[in-house]
Amino acid sequence: MIKAILIFNNHGKPRLSKFYEHYSEDTEQQIIRETFHLVSKRDENVCNFLEGGMLIGGSDYKLIYRHYATLYFVFCVDSSESELGILDLIQVFVETLDKCFENVCELDLIFHVDKVHNILAEMVMGGMVLETNMNEIITQVDAQNKMEKSEVSPIPVHCVYDLILPPYSELLCIVCRHVCMLHPACYSPVTLWMLPTYS
């Protein structure tokens, strides 16, 4: 069974953490730090699995990881899981992210954390592996995205009339003293009152 899935960068900043057992938030942070220290100090030419840290369960659990560019993908599993099977699962997860985000990078994990969690939920649920076929995972994620888009409806007209805009003086550009979108200083005040567009 998978106990936790962690993604962090080369500096130990967590980019995704999914625990399949309950821990307090402080304990989760300590587990992430401990896991980072265990994994990051390993040489590049050693195997990709090692005993888990004391906080995650010690020698009863294994940390299986892969290092891609600036990110570590770490799965903490018990003794019933195959190390090579989990390494393949990590590869499928990364390739799926790469297809969904078209050349995935660390920023995609930061700004699209909900989509990353959806992809992960298609693969692993409750610590058990559900799906390893990348095409099936992408099909399910695309279907979910289409459903979410169909549920979004445009803002009703009466909401536009009820919108409270800031005073006109706050909308003037600090560079040219007009309402414009040419100068970077204009972007923030103007976007405060601009309505979102729906396609």
* Digit-coded pLDDT (tens) for 22-48: 999 999 999 999 999 999 998 888 999
CB atoms within 10 A of CB 132: 14
Q: Which of the residue ranges 6-10, 26-30, 57-61, 194-198 would you say has the lowest mean pLDDT? A: 194-198
DSSP-derived letter for residue 89 is: H
β strands within 33-130, DSSP E: 49-51, 61-68, 71-78, 124-125, 128-129
CA distance 199 to 189: 24
Write phi, then psi, for 6 (nearest 5 degrees): -130, 140
Q: Which of 38, 36, 6 is nearest to 19 (CA)?
A: 6
Q: Are 175 and 135 in contact (CB under 8 A)?
A: no
**What is the pLDDT, as a whole number, of residue 192?**
41
* Digit-coded pLDDT (tens) for 51-73: 877 767 677 789 999 999 899 99
Q: If you search the block for the tokens 């390893």, which residue do you land on?
A: 132
* Digit-coded pLDDT (tens) for 82-114: 999 999 999 999 999 999 998 888 998 999 999
CB atoms within 10 A of CB 96: 23
Q: Which of 41, 63, 43, 42 is nearest to 52 (CA)?
A: 63
What pTM does this model have? 0.72
CB atoms within 10 A of CB 14: 16
**What is the pLDDT, as a whole number, of residue 165?**
53
CA distance 190 to 148: 28
Q: Which of 60, 61, 4 is nearest to 28 (CA)?
A: 4
CA distance 62 to 3: 10
Q: Are 76 and 49 in contact (CB under 8 A)?
A: no
Q: Are 81 and 2 in contact (CB under 8 A)?
A: yes
At 49, is the pLDDT very low, low, confident or very high (cuts 50, 70, 90)? confident
Assigned CATH for 2-149: 3.30.450.60
Whether the pLDDT of residue 172 is over 80: the answer is no
Where are the chain's structural domains? Answer: 2-149, 157-193
